[in-house]
Amino acid sequence: MPKRDDAHMLAQRERILRSVIECIAQKGVDRTSISDICRRAGMSTGALYVHFANKDEIIAEALRYGSPLEDAFPARWLDIVALLSSVENQMGFDILTVVRSRLHLHAESVHPGTLHDTLRPILQNTMEIFTARLQQLSDRNEIRLRMTAEQTARSILAFLDGMFWITLATDQPLDALRPQLKEGIDCFVEPLS
């Protein structure tokens, strides 16, 4: 069999990751099978195993997919609020897929094991980036924190996950959530400029 070029291999890997996120959003982590992922990705099981050793490895990589990077995190408070309260499509996925897959992955990651070990440093990194940004904004007198920067970051992230969860659990439309998210975030931070 001829060797595939790097671009082809990267495209296949991307297709697998996007497929697993869609499957998890639809079925949850436990009920998503390798067959489901292959069917959605339009590839054979053998092709999938060229990229990933097992389902746990695919799921772990899906947790990392789209994790925030420090340089991609907005510098201005209003831009941060817009990002955090966005109910628009993200990374080429509709917002419902993003929210459902994230909640499923986070819920599954509370149990000790591979997913927990994968998510912990991702969350720590997200917390560090967000905490540092909040502290910078506070130091520049652009915002007033009602708690420490770390407590504020943790509280806002918990608030967002909780709001998304309760909205889905009560069959409410996600698009109606944006103003509530903005108002809720304002409870944690007071903009000064």
**Tens digits of per-residue pLDDT, 26-58?**
999 999 999 999 999 999 999 999 999 999 899
pTM (2 decimals)?
0.84
Residue 190: in which H helix or E strand, if any?
strand 189-191
pLDDT > 70 in the chain, percent: 95
Instruction: Give the pLDDT of residue 3.
Output: 67
Query: Which of 127, 119, 83 lies closest to 101, judged by CA?
Result: 119
Per-residue pLDDT tens over the stretch 84-109: 988 777 777 888 898 899 899 889 88
φ, ψ dihedrals at 156, nearest 5°: -65, -45
Architecture field, domain 6-62: Orthogonal Bundle (1.10)
Cβ burial of 175 (10 Å; 0-12, 13-18, 19+) is exposed
Contacts (Cβ under 8 Å, ≥6 apart) of 14:
none
pLDDT of 67 over the 80 cut: no
Query: Which of 138, 162, 163 lies closest to 150, judged by CA?
Result: 138
- Residue extents of the structural domains in the chain: 6-62, 66-191
Banded pLDDT at 2 (limits 50, 70, 90) = low
* CA pair distance 71, 125, nearest whole angstrom: 13
Does CATH number 1.10.357 belong to domain 66-191? yes
* CA pair distance 153, 85, nearest whole angstrom: 14
Cα–Cα distances (Å) from 52 to 22, 42, 100, in that order, read 17, 16, 23
